[in-house]
Amino acid sequence: MGGTIDPFDAVIIAVAAIVVWALLSRLYRGRAGAPPLSKPEAEHRFATVFGLTPIERQEALISHYMAKHRCSRREAMDIAMEARHTDEEHW
């Protein structure tokens, strides 16, 4: 029984690794499945996340997501923050 792994064991290990990764990524994201933020919370969080972005650009970003997703201002802020989070994870 040298240093080889049985193919069935390799599949089990791969599936277990995927399950662990999925669970940890949900924990890391924190807000997945959580109720939406209230308007003051969303405004504050958006201002924190996009604090270095000029106000005009922030407003243009919110308007963009409102038009693209046909949603409210608060929902657009949530979408923008999630998109930013996804971009940060990608790099």
Whole-number Å distance between alpha carbons of 45 and 58: 13
Q: Which residue from 69, 75, 67, 66 is spatially nearest to 46, judged by alpha carbons?
A: 75
CB of 58 closer than 8 Å to CB of 69 = no
Domain boundaries, the chain: 1-34, 37-91
Residues 74, 42 contacting (CB under 8 angstroms): yes
Q: What is the pLDDT of residue 61?
A: 93
Residue 67: the pLDDT is 95
Question: What pLDDT, in 10s, does the model give residues 69-81?
Answer: 999 999 999 999 9
pTM for the complete prediction? Answer: 0.55
Mean pLDDT of 80-88: 87
What are the tokens at 1? 């029984």
Express each pLDDT in 10-57 by its tens digit: 878 887 788 777 766 665 555 555 566 666 787 888 888 888 989 999
